[in-house]
Structure 1
Amino acid sequence: MSITRQSYDHELENLRQEISKMGNMVAQAIGESVKALANQDVELSRKVMDGDDIIDAIEVEIEDKCMVLIARQQPLARDLRIIGTGLKITTDLERIGDHAFDIAKIAIKVSQEPLVKPLVDLPRMAVMAQKMLKDSLEAYINMDISLAEQVCQADDGVDDIYQQIFRELLTYMMEDPRTISQATQLIFVARYLERVADHATNIAEWVIYLVTGQRMRKN
């Protein structure tokens, strides 16, 4: 293998590691935003919101690296797929970061009022979505199609719990109009978590494409 090729492979691996690092930050942000909501922790909410700028900056850095690799190396076939899927995955991760920001913002909004109910299902939903995200990133790093497929299949479970939460909160609103404002905000949180799972599924689909060259829409 030529020194030039070795250097290029090293750059591609660094790219994948940077994407994995961004993914871990985003997964942590989701967990902390829901924890802040459940504990009505304003300080933690603000920490999550402040961290969104860092995530956005990392996205720009990764995009710049991808553009430089394309311009300098003019990649073909699998190498081009590595860079292209890197760009797509980074976009999904940035949007998950936005959802963490939105949940933290809601956590601050409802922090000064009693919660309409103890939050059990929302944290459980967050754990499920986080696992999907972490598994999709592991599948990406290891080029693991089997794990990517498992992520896609797990999306149905998150959808089910979203519907459960939606119905329960709707019942609260119908029984007591005073809960409408907060319950509506909690429905938004559930929707954001459902979207996190969708983005994790997108990442898994890109892994399948990266390895096989075949586009498979599971979401």
Structure 2
Amino acid sequence: MRSKFDEQLNVLHVDLLNMAYLIQNAIQNAMKYFFEADIEGAKQIIKDDENVNHYQKKIENICFNLLIQQQPVARDLRTITAALKMVTDMERIGDHASDISELVIDMKDCPILFNEGKFKEMYSDVVAMLIQSINAYVNRNMDLAKEVIDMDDNVDQLFESNKEDLIQLIHNNPEKGRAAVDLLMVNKYLERIGDHVTNIAEWVIYSLDNDPENKEE
């Protein structure tokens, strides 16, 4: 019975990694197309979000089957509960990549100058946080998860800095107001992605809490 449970748990881990890979690519490509104003690429990101939704449903089904059929012990129950919560945040991250792509399409006739460096740093940070949070879950590493939560501080600082820059841009160039508002939305979606990744890290910590293997000496 336990061997079958462990086998299904491994499938859960693999599917979580696959879903994480999809949303990682979605974020990176959405921002790539954002910087390049690639309309066709942005449309593909929106279409590909169906694959993220597919994995969400598949992972939820695995979790429910484990809960109903296998009668997990406390440690396993925390792992499965965390996975259910994590997959919801992962799906929202995929949605935000689509949201950014929709703005790329909307901004096609409104090119403006902005600080690309801060946007690039911001999305690089959230991608790094995502990768580390999933590694923390699979490797049952609480320290990695805690580092992810700390990393969100820099994302928040970049969010505020970008916001101030764009408000100043609107003030100095009212004719570029519409495009600046769209950029404010991209900025907000990246900040929200950081929040969702932080949630994932917090659920990793929850899944490992009271685990003897993760108790400090």
Using the size of structure 2 for normalisation, the TM-score is 0.94
Whole-angstrom CA distance in 2 between matches of 1:118 and 1:89: 32
Determine the structure 2 residue equivalent to 1:69. Answer: 66
The answer to whether structure 1 residue 15 and structure 2 residue 19 are counterparts is no
Whole-angstrom CA distance in 2 between matches of 1:28 and 1:13: 23
Whole-angstrom CA distance in 2 between matches of 1:28 and 1:151: 19
Determine the structure 1 residue equivalent to 2:177. Answer: 180
SS at match of 2:116: coil
Determine the structure 2 residue equivalent to 1:190. Answer: 187
Whole-angstrom CA distance in 2 between matches of 1:8 and 1:190: 42
Whole-angstrom CA distance in 2 between matches of 1:111 and 1:213: 51
Determine the structure 2 residue equivalent to 1:54. Answer: 51
Whole-angstrom CA distance in 2 between matches of 1:66 and 1:19: 11
Whole-angstrom CA distance in 1 between matches of 2:72 and 2:5: 10
Q: Are the aligned partners of 2:122 and 2:158 in contact in 1 as well (CA < 8 Å)?
A: yes
Whole-angstrom CA distance in 1 between matches of 2:176 and 2:133: 36
Q: For the structure 1 residues 197 and 156, does the alpha-carbon distance in structure 2 shift closer, same or farther, using more than 3 Å as the test?
A: same
Whole-angstrom CA distance in 2 between matches of 1:148 and 1:65: 24
Unaligned stretches of 5+ residues in structure 1: 215-219
Whole-angstrom CA distance in 1 between matches of 2:204 and 2:192: 18
Q: Are the aligned partners of 1:116 and 1:182 in contact in 2 as well (CA < 8 Å)?
A: no
1:77-88 aligned at under 5 Å gives the runs: 77-88=74-85
* Per-residue deviation, residues 95-129 of structure 1 (Å, max 9, x unmatched): 00000000000011112332233522212210011
Using the size of structure 1 for normalisation, the TM-score is 0.93
Q: Are the aligned partners of 2:13 and 2:138 in contact in 1 as well (CA < 8 Å)?
A: yes
The answer to whether structure 1 residue 93 and structure 2 residue 84 are counterparts is no
SS at match of 2:76: helix
Whole-angstrom CA distance in 1 between matches of 2:8 and 2:123: 33
SS at match of 1:96: helix
Q: Are the aligned partners of 1:148 and 1:208 in contact in 2 as well (CA < 8 Å)?
A: yes
1:39-188 aligned at under 5 Å gives the runs: 39-117=36-114, 119-188=116-185
Whole-angstrom CA distance in 1 between matches of 2:7 and 2:124: 33
- 28, 32, 35: which is aligned to 1:35? 32
SS at match of 1:120: helix
Whole-angstrom CA distance in 1 between matches of 2:143 and 2:115: 37
- Read off the aligned partner of 1:125 and give its amino acid letter: M
User: C-alpha displacement at 1:68, in angstroms?
Assistant: 1.3
Identity %: 35
Whole-angstrom CA distance in 2 between matches of 1:26 and 1:196: 10
Aligned Cα root-mean-square deviation (Å): 1.2
